[in-house]
Amino acid sequence: MKVCVAGAAGAFGMKHMDAISNIEGIEVHSVVGRDAEKMAAFAKERGVPHSFTDLDEALKQPELDAVILATPTQMHASQSIACMKAGKHVMVEIPMADNIEDSRELVKVQQETGLVAMAGHTRRFNPSHQWIHNKIVKGELKIQQMDVQTYFFRRSNTNAKGEPRSWTDHLLWHHACHTVDLFQYQTGERASKLQALQGPKHPELGIAMDMSIGLKVPSGAICTLSLSFNNEGPFGTFFRYICDNGTYIARYDDLVDGNENPVDLTGVAVSNNGIELQDREFFSAIQEGREPNASVAQALEAMESLHTLEQLVEAE
C-alpha cells in the first residue's frame, strides 16, 4: 500500500513516519510540507520517492492509496474532503475539524464516497486505555469518574518539539477532543450533561489559556477535565480512572494502579506504541474493506459534544 504523509516533518508527522516503518507492506510513497527544499532533503533522508509542497499535486498520483494528514487543525476538514474526492482513503489527526459544520460535511463526504476516513483518536489505541476498555467490555470494571489533566506551557506558537508553529493551537477543539472522545468511547454513552468554564484569553494568541470541563453520561459516570497552556511542570495528559473495582492512572502507553504499581500490559496489542496501533487499524480497515475504530462517523459524537461546550463558554 502506498501512502502519503502530509506534514511529515512536523512533530506528529514524524511519529507516523516512525510508526509506518514498523508496519509490513506499507510504503511512504510521498511527503508534503511547506518548504520545498526542506521536504526534498527530508524525503531523501527517509528514502521516500516523492515530495511536494501542495497536497493537491500529491493527490494526482494514481498509484497513491491513502493519505495521513498531520497538518494544521484549520486545514483538516478541507484536506480530508479533498483526499476522498480524489479517491484516496484518509486518516486525519484530531480534531477532524475545528467546528461542527465542517465535521458534519466531512462525514457526509465519507458516506458518499464509501472510502475509509478515520480520525486520529490515539487514546482509543494506547495499550493503557485498551486494557481499561477490555475490562469494561468484560464487565470487570465500571467507570465512576475519569479525572483528567491536560497541561502544557505554550504562551507562544510552538509545537510539541518546541519549534515555531504557523497556526494557533486550541484547548477545546484540539486537546479536549482527546478526552471527550475517550470518555464517551469508554462508557459507551454520549454525554447528556455538559459544563465548561474558560479563563482569560491570551492577548496575542486570542485563545483561552485555561479551561475546566465537566461531562456526565446517562448511566451516571462523570468526567472532570482540567486543561492549561500556563502549566510549568510535566507536560501531557494524565488520566485517572476511578472505577467500582480499582483506580488506574494512564500516562500515554503506560498504566499504573492508584498506588503507582505498574500494570502488566503484555499481550494487550501487537505494539506498545499507540500511534503505530492507530496506523495499523487504518491500514487494516482499508485492506479489509470495513469501518475502522475511530472512523469520522464515530468521532462525530465527540465533535457534537465539543460544539455544545463551545456554546457554553461563549455564553459566559
pLDDT tens column, 296-315: 999 999 999 999 999 999 88
* Same structural domain, 175 and 38: no
* Same structural domain, 136 and 116: no
* Same structural domain, 81 and 174: no
Query: What is residue 202's predicted lDDT score, i.e. its pLDDT?
Result: 84
Distance between CA 92 and CA 180 in Å, rounded? 17
The alpha carbon dihedral of 278, 282, 285, 290 has a sign of positive
Q: How many CB atoms lie within 10 A of CB 258?
A: 13
* Same structural domain, 20 and 81: yes
CATH number of the domain residue 115 falls in: 3.40.50.720
* Same structural domain, 172 and 111: no
| SS3 at position 35 | coil
* Same structural domain, 155 and 246: yes
Indicate the pTM of the whole model. Answer: 0.93
* Same structural domain, 138 and 250: yes
Which bin fits 69, alpha (ψ -120 to 50), beta or left (φ > 0)? beta
208: its cell numbers: 483561552
Task: State the SS3 of 185-203.
Answer: HHHCCCCCEEEEEECCECC
- Phi–psi pair at 207, nearest 5 degrees: -125, 155
Query: What is residue 159's predicted lDDT score, i.e. its pLDDT?
Result: 56
Query: What is residue 164's predicted lDDT score, i.e. its pLDDT?
Result: 61
Buried b / exposed e along 278-288 (16+ C-beta atoms within 10 A)? bbbbbbebbee
Local mean pLDDT, 10-residue blocks, the chain (316 residues): 96 95 98 96 97 98 98 95 98 96 98 98 97 98 97 70 62 93 98 96 84 97 96 89 97 96 97 97 98 98 97 88
Query: What is residue 178's predicted lDDT score, i.e. its pLDDT?
Result: 94
**Number of domains within the chain:** 2
The alpha carbon dihedral of 122, 123, 125, 128 has a sign of positive
* Same structural domain, 64 and 136: no
Tell me which residue range forms the domain holding 284: 2-122+275-293
Query: What is residue 310's predicted lDDT score, i.e. its pLDDT?
Result: 94
* Same structural domain, 24 and 83: yes
Query: What is residue 160's predicted lDDT score, i.e. its pLDDT?
Result: 58
| SS3 at position 276 | helix
Query: What is residue 11's predicted lDDT score, i.e. its pLDDT?
Result: 87
Distance between CA 193 and CA 184 in Å, rounded? 12
